[in-house]
Amino acid sequence: MEPVNEGLIERIDAYIENLFTLPDEALSQNLADAEAAGLPSINVSPNQGRLLYLLTKLVGAKRVLEIGTLGGYSATWLARALPADGLLVTLELEARNAEVARRNLGRAGFAAAIDLRVGPATDSLRDLIRSASTPFDVVFLDANKDGYVEYLELALQLSRPGTLILADNVIRHGHVLDSNPADPYDAGAKAYNEVIANHPRLESLILPIVRSRVDGLAISIVRRD
């Protein structure tokens, strides 16, 4: 047995990716376009995108809410998991990112399946709550981590018993292990983890995600009882 080390973990990630994720024009174009536009490369990995896709299919989701569109990479995976009459509502703060995402999602054939809203997520979430939006089947949080706790409370008002709530980057390369993280994103992720662990309406766990560095995906289900 080789000892667990970063090189091995990266090779395992690549091994899994090569097994299950075929070269993909839409996703490659998406990343190339995002890079050319100067977006940060903080999109989910191909394997994590596939995990989002599988989980969304697993629950038979028709309505998905994403908070943090960036260039639309994870949105492409989520949209692919939807049936023909499905809808992905995705929220993005930066107009510049939204423009890249809109172009990419249009090219991938999802213009009609996606409702991309630009502006602070709290505003868009409150608009959805005010309009008595049909509850979402899946919620994916992947925006500023210092907003996660507030986004969760608003997303819960847009959920039903059984809604799956996912949150990216909740391990923050291990910084959530610090007793009092100085970085607001680390502190926000740590606060989120503690909220979901103790929330009366949720049952949750964190799945560690290992790539070149370690992070985690929080998985919660809104209680049915």
C-alpha span between 223 and 77 (Å, rounded): 26
Considering the complex, state which of residue 159 and residue 169 has its C-beta at the smaller distance from ligand DHB.
169
Q: Would you state the structure tokens that stand for residue 31, as one six-digit string?
A: 């990343």
Nearest by Cα to 121 from 160, 163, 154, 73: 154
Report the nearest approach of ligand DHB to the CB of residue 1 (Å).
30
Among 8, 14, 32, 42, binds ligand DHB (CB under 6 A): 42
Which residue is nearest to Mg ion, using beta carbons?
A: 168
Q: Would you state the structure tokens that stand for residue 80, as one six-digit string?
A: 């692919």
b/e map of 40-63 (b: 16 or more CB within 10 Å)? eeebbbbbbbbbbbebbeeeebeb
Q: Binding-site residue total for ligand DHB (CB under 6 A)?
A: 4
Considering the complex, state which of residue 108 and residue 143 has its C-beta at the smaller distance from ligand DHB.
143
Considering the complex, state which of residue 35 and residue 127 has its C-beta at the smaller distance from Mg ion.
35
Which residues here bind Mg ion, judged by CB under 5 A? 142, 168-169
Counting contacts by CB under 6 A, is residue 45 touching ligand DHB?
Answer: no
Which residue is nearest to ligand DHB, using beta carbons?
A: 42
CB 82 within 8 A of CB 55: no
C-alpha span between 31 and 25 (Å, rounded): 10
CB neighbourhood size of 96 (10 A) = 13
Report the nearest approach of Mg ion to the CB of residue 80 (Å).
18
* Helix or strand run (H / E) with residue 160: none
Partner whose binding site includes residue 76, from ligand DHB, Mg ion, none (CB under 5 to 8 Å by kind)? none
Q: Would you state the structure tokens that stand for residue 207, as one six-digit string?
A: 């799945």
| 165: β partners | 139, 220
Query: What's the distance, CA 213 to chain centroid?
Result: 18
Considering the complex, state which of residue 86 and residue 93 has its C-beta at the smaller distance from ligand DHB.
93
Touching ligand DHB, residues 130-189 (CB under 6 A): 142, 168-169
Report the nearest approach of ligand DHB to the CB of residue 187 (Å).
14
Considering the complex, state which of residue 86 and residue 92 has its C-beta at the smaller distance from ligand DHB.
92
The footprint of ligand DHB (CB under 6 A) covers 42, 142, 168-169
